Amino acid sequence: MTSGGDAPGMNAAIRAVTRTAIYNKLHIIGIKRGYAGLIENEIEPLSLKRVGGIINRGGTTLLTSRSKEFMTPEGRKKAYTNLKKHDIDGLIVIGGDGSMHGANALETEFSVPTLTIPGTIDNDMYGSDYSIGFFTAVETAMDAIDKIRDTATSHERLFVIEVMGHHCGNIALITSIAGGAEGVFIPEEKTFDLETLLALLQEGKNRGKLSSIVITAEGAYKAAELQDMLKDHAYFRVRAVTLGHVQRGGVPNAFDRLIASILGKAAVDYMIGGKHGGFVGLDKMNPIFTPYSEALTHKKSIDEQLIALQEILAI
């Protein structure tokens, strides 16, 4: 199943899990709409034909949702009943932290063997260098930023661009470096205080810069909020742009398709080998297993070297 927020590359993971299972003579089914679909018994067989032609498609062909009912003991009991009804003896969940918590609940409360594959554009899950969808989301944001810079220069403006990331600033940090932004704000730490940012922007203007870009993750500042904070400074005109859910959509890039394929195969291999109750991640492109007890209690830290790099290149 896929669960929680969609991410480009989820279909590649569905395809890899299905094909690896069939290669190993296993019967595999898909659960539609995540945990909500499991509660409502929305279950269908998966086949080579069913997963053909989906590797290049964004979103998830199994659909996804967030289920409040599954958060209750009664909801989880319904889900377990349907798993037993269909003789399901192992569950692979593609999603983020919330999805992993759900998989852990089924494993802990009902002894259902589960594994979680990281599928989230935030790339914030402990136990993996990368999560499915992150790099495609970054490329989508970068494409928009490059276009915005054209109009920013033409009108000699400062643009504040808000990208996704409630609790994690990975998208903001990477796009600020790759997009040549003059400043970035992330939830983990306010990388720039307002006074420092204003001084940096003024220095650039004094050197003859015609425009500037500041990136903010939604969990640090809203674009409109930063616009209000900056608009009273007369030496530039400020515009705000919120990229929003466009970052979740689109054709997954080659890297997201590759890691989804590696992770999907690894999850099936682990399940066949009797290893479950954990998170399937990547360490330098090699599959690794992290128990839920560790994956759910540790927080993935932001890369301090990238923060330092951004500060140096922003001058």
- Catalytic residue IDs: 122
User: How far from the centroid of its chain's Cα atoms is residue 84's Cα?
Assistant: 31
Beta bridge partners of 283: 286
Q: Which of 185, 186, 188, 207 is nearest to 196 (CA)?
A: 185
Residue 185 in contact with residue 221, Cβ under 8 Å? yes
- Tokens 């494993």 appear where? 107
- For residue 93, give the 3-state DSSP assignment: strand
Q: CA distances (Å), 38 to each of 45, 119, 142, in order?
A: 14, 19, 36
Q: Which tokens go with 155?
A: 């009108």
Length of the chain equals 315
Q: Please name the amino acid found at residue 261.
A: S
Distance of alpha carbon 170 from alpha carbon 138, whole angstroms:
9
